[in-house]
Amino acid sequence: MKKLLLTFLAGFFLIGTSLSAGAAEPGDELPAKVIAAESWEPTPGTPEEEIIWEFLLNKEKELDISSGELRNQLRIIKKETHPKAGTVHYKLKQYIHDIPVYGAEQTIHINKKGKITCLLGNLLPSQHQSFLPEEVKPQISPTDAIQVAQKDAENQIGNIGKPATDPKADIYVYLHQGKAWLVYMTEMNTIDPKPFRTRYFINAKDGSIVNKYSLLEQATGTGTGVLGDIKTFETKQVGAQFQLYDTTRGNGIKTYTALNSYFLPGFLVISRDNNNWTDAAAVDAHAYAEKVYDYYKSKFNRDSLDDEGMQIKSTVHLGLNYNNAFWNGEQIAYGDGDGVNFRAFSSDLGVIGHELTHGVTQYTANLEYRNEPGALNESISDIIGNSIKNKGWLIGEDVSVKGEAFRSMQDPTRYDQPDSYEDLYTGPFDNGGVHINSGINNKAFYLLAEGGTHRGVTVSGIGRDEAVEIYYHALTHYLTPYANFSTMRVAAIQAAKDLFGDDSNEANSVNKAYDAVGIN
C-alpha cells in the first residue's frame, strides 16, 4: 500500500503524465533503423561526405526508401567531431516536399579509421508516404491550429492564464496509426490554473486533433538547506540587497519564489539585510543548480543545458503543499510538499540533477516523452541525476519525509518497475510507461557501473564515472527522438567503443549489461 500511495502522490516526477492528454499509442513511432556497417566498404578515394550518400544508397532496402528519393528527402543538418575519440558524427533529417517529417532523424558515425560504423534513427518508409497528396499544402493557418489546441486545453483545465512560453505552430509530416498526416505541431504550456504542458498535432487540412500527449517531465552567500545542512553559493549584490543570482556560471543561475502561487518564474529571491539566507527550499534549489552546472562543465565540458550558457531558472514554493517538481521546457519548478509524505522537492540533489538533465536531453537527442523513447528519457535523467548525487542507487529518498525512495536503480522491482525487457509494461498509463519502464535501462546502467549477475548473465563493473561517460556520449551523439531500447543498446556499445576502444572491457561490459536485461 505504501508503494501505491507513493506512486500516486509523486505526480509528474514519478508517473509523469495526466490521463487527460490521451493514452500513448505504441504504433505511432516511425520504424527504427539500426544498420551496422562492418562489412561495407566505400569506393576508394571517396570524400567523407560522399561516403555518407554512398552508404545510404547501398542500404536502400534496409531504409525502405527508394534510391531516387534518398537524396531528395534526407539532409545533413549537423557534423560534429569528437576530439577524444577521433570520431565523426553526422545528423540527418528527412523532409518530404521540403516539409520535415516529425521525429525522422538519423545519426551516422565514422570511426577514427575513417570507416562508417553504423546508422541509428528513424525514417518514414515509402509505403507510408502514399497517404500524402501530391501537393502537400495546409488548409488552415498556424493561428487556427493554436486556437484548436487552446480550446481543448481549456476544456480540461479551465481558462488558461499567461503561457509559460508563447505558443507557435510548426508544419510537419506526422505518422499516426500507420498513416502519414500533414499536421501543425503546437504546445500548450502554462502553470495557471495548474501545471499543464501538452503537445498537439492538429490536422492541417480540417483542424481536427490527430494526436496529443503530456510533456510535463517530473518530478557566495550561505544558507541552511531543508535537511539542515549549511551551503555556500554565489549571489549578486544590488545596492543594499542580495539576490539569488549567480553571474559566474554561463549566462547565470537565478532562483525565484512563486510565493505559493502558480505564477512562473515568480519573484527573484532576495535578502534585504545580509548575505545569510533562511529560505531553505530556495537555498537548496540555488546551490544544487550550481552543482549540476559544475558537474556538466567539469565532467563533459558542457556549458549549461544547451551547451551555449543557457540561463538556469528555478522556482520554489510553487502552489500550496504541492507534491511535485517538473521541467516545463524552459525552467524547473518545485513544490514544497505536504509535510506529511513529502518535504520540499528542491531538497534532493538527485531530483534537481534529474530534472535539469531533461533540459539537456531536450537540446540533444530530444527523446519523445512516451513509450520506449520516454522511458529512455526518464532513465537518462535518473542515470545522470544519480551520478551527480553520487550517493547510492535510490532516486528521490531525500524528498520523502519517511525516507522512502521513488525508484531503485539497483533493484527496480522494489518499487514496482521491471528489471528486464520481457516484463516491459505496454499499457496506456504513464504515457506508455515512461517512469515504469525506465527501470530496465536503469538496471543496465547499474550492472555496467557496479557489476553483478542478473538473469544468469554476469557483468564486469567499470565504475560509475566511466559508465556515465558512455551514456552521455550516447545521448549527445547517437540517440534520436524515437530511439527505443534496442537503439539504446547499440548507441551505448558504440559510445563505449568510441571512448575506450573496439575491443575494450568497457564495450564488452555494455554488451553484457544489455544481455542481462534482455535487450537485443
Comparing 35-39, 53-57, 136-140, the range with the smallest average pLDDT is 35-39
217-242: average pLDDT = 65
Of 403, 408, 287, nearest in space to 349 by CA: 287
275-279: average pLDDT = 76
Asked whether the bond before 265 is cis by omega within 30 degrees of 0, the reply is yes
> pLDDT class for 4, splitting at 50, 70, 90?
very low
* Residue 54 scores a pLDDT above 60: yes
Of 480, 447, 416, 370, nearest in space to 407 by CA: 416
- Going by their DSSP bridges, the two strands 312-318 and 253-257 should be labelled as parallel
Comparing 154-158, 170-174, 214-218, 326-330, the range with the smallest average pLDDT is 214-218
pLDDT at 39: 67
Nine-digit cell string for 385: 541525476
Q: Would you state the torsion angle of the CA atoms of residues 77, 82, 85, 87, taken in this order, to the nearest 10 degrees?
A: 30
Active site residue 435: yes
* Residue 20 scores a pLDDT above 50: no
54-76: average pLDDT = 90
SS3 271: strand
Question: CA gyration radius for the chain?
Answer: 23
* Residue 318 scores a pLDDT above 90: yes
Comparing 19-23, 61-65, 461-465, the range with the smallest average pLDDT is 19-23
Was domain 218-355 assigned CATH 3.10.170.10? yes
Pick the CATH number of 31-123 from 2.60.120, 1.10.287, 3.10.450, 3.30.70: 3.10.450
Q: Where are the beta strands (DSSP E) in 161-295?
A: 170-176, 179-190, 196-203, 209-214, 217-218, 221-224, 230-233, 236-238, 241-243, 245-246, 253-257, 267-268, 270-271, 276-277
Which residue in 435, 454, 473, 477 is the catalytic one? Answer: 435
Q: Which amino acid type is present at position 5?
A: L
Of 510, 494, 470, 505, nearest in space to 120 by CA: 494
> pLDDT class for 135, splitting at 50, 70, 90?
low
C-alpha span between 70 and 432 (Å, rounded): 32
SS3 91: strand
pLDDT at 304: 98
Of 519, 355, 371, nearest in space to 448 by CA: 519
How many residues does this entry show for the chain? Answer: 520
Are 119 and 33 in contact by the 8 Å Cβ rule? The answer is yes
Are 166 and 142 in contact by the 8 Å Cβ rule? The answer is no
The pair phi, psi for residue 517, each rounded to 5°, is: -100, 10
pLDDT at 127: 83
C-alpha span between 519 and 375 (Å, rounded): 14
pLDDT at 358: 96
CATH class of 135-211: alpha beta
> pLDDT class for 301, splitting at 50, 70, 90?
very high
Active site residue 355: yes
Taking each helix axis as running N to C, give the angle between helix 280-300 and helix 349-362, from 0 to 180 degrees, rounded to the nearest 10: 50
> pLDDT class for 442, splitting at 50, 70, 90?
very high
C-alpha span between 94 and 86 (Å, rounded): 27
The phi-psi region of residue 79 (left if phi > 0; otherwise alpha if psi is between -120 and 50; otherwise beta) is beta
Task: Please provide the DSSP assignment of 115-134 as one string.
Answer: -EEEEEEE---HHHHTTS-S
CA distances from 510 to 141, 471, 505, 516 (A): 48, 10, 9, 10
Q: Which amino acid type is present at position 106?
A: Q
> pLDDT class for 350, splitting at 50, 70, 90?
very high
C-alpha span between 27 and 241 (Å, rounded): 55
**What residue has cell string 549584490?**
237
409-423: average pLDDT = 97
> pLDDT class for 230, splitting at 50, 70, 90?
low
Higher per-residue pLDDT: 407 or 178: 407
Residues 6 or more apart whose CB falls under 8 angstroms from that of 122 comprise 29, 30, 31, 32, 33, 103, 104, 105, 106, 480, 481, 482, 483
Q: Is the dihedral of CA 425, 407, 396, 368 positive or negative?
A: negative
* Residue 277 scores a pLDDT above 90: no
pLDDT at 224: 62
Of 448, 447, 425, 449, nearest in space to 437 by CA: 425
Nine-digit cell string for 169: 505552430
> pLDDT class for 21, splitting at 50, 70, 90?
very low
Nine-digit cell string for 103: 521525429
The pair phi, psi for residue 96, each rounded to 5°, is: -125, 120
The burial class, CB within 10 Å (0-12 / 13-18 / 19+), for 166 is exposed
Higher per-residue pLDDT: 89 or 6: 89
pLDDT at 49: 86
Q: How many C-alpha atoms does 327 have within 13 Å on its Cβ side?
A: 22
Are 103 and 481 in contact by the 8 Å Cβ rule? The answer is yes
Q: What percent of the chain has pLDDT over 90?
A: 67
Comparing 133-142, 243-252, 319-328, 337-346, the range with the smallest average pLDDT is 133-142
pLDDT at 252: 95
Domain boundaries, the chain: 31-123, 135-211, 218-355, 372-516
**What residue has cell string 553520487?**
390
Q: Same CATH fold, 218-355 and 135-211? A: no
Of these ranges, 29-43, 130-144, 159-173, the one predicted with the greatest mean pLDDT is 159-173
* Residue 509 scores a pLDDT above 60: yes
* Residue 393 scores a pLDDT above 90: yes
* Residue 220 scores a pLDDT above 50: no
Mean pLDDT across the chain, nearest whole number? 88
466-485, pLDDT tens digit by residue?
Answer: 999 999 999 999 999 999 99
Are 191 and 132 in contact by the 8 Å Cβ rule? The answer is no
Q: What is the DSSP secondary structure assignment for residue 311, as one 8-state letter?
A: P
* Residue 16 scores a pLDDT above 50: no
* Residue 258 scores a pLDDT above 50: yes
Fold annotation for 372-516: Neutral Protease; domain 2 (1.10.390)
* Residue 386 scores a pLDDT above 90: yes
pLDDT at 1: 28
Of these ranges, 69-73, 219-223, 476-480, the one predicted with the greatest mean pLDDT is 476-480
**What residue has cell string 514519478?**
14
69-74: average pLDDT = 91
pLDDT at 3: 34
Q: What is the DSSP secondary structure assignment for residue 163, as one 8-state letter?
A: B
Asked whether the bond before 193 is cis by omega within 30 degrees of 0, the reply is yes
Sheet holding 230-233, edge to edge: 230-233, 221-224, 276-277
Higher per-residue pLDDT: 392 or 215: 392
40-44: average pLDDT = 84
Which three-class secondary structure string do you get for 21-38?
Answer: HCCCCHHHCCCEEEEECC
Which residue in 29, 290, 355, 378 is the catalytic one? Answer: 355
199-226: average pLDDT = 80
pLDDT at 32: 84
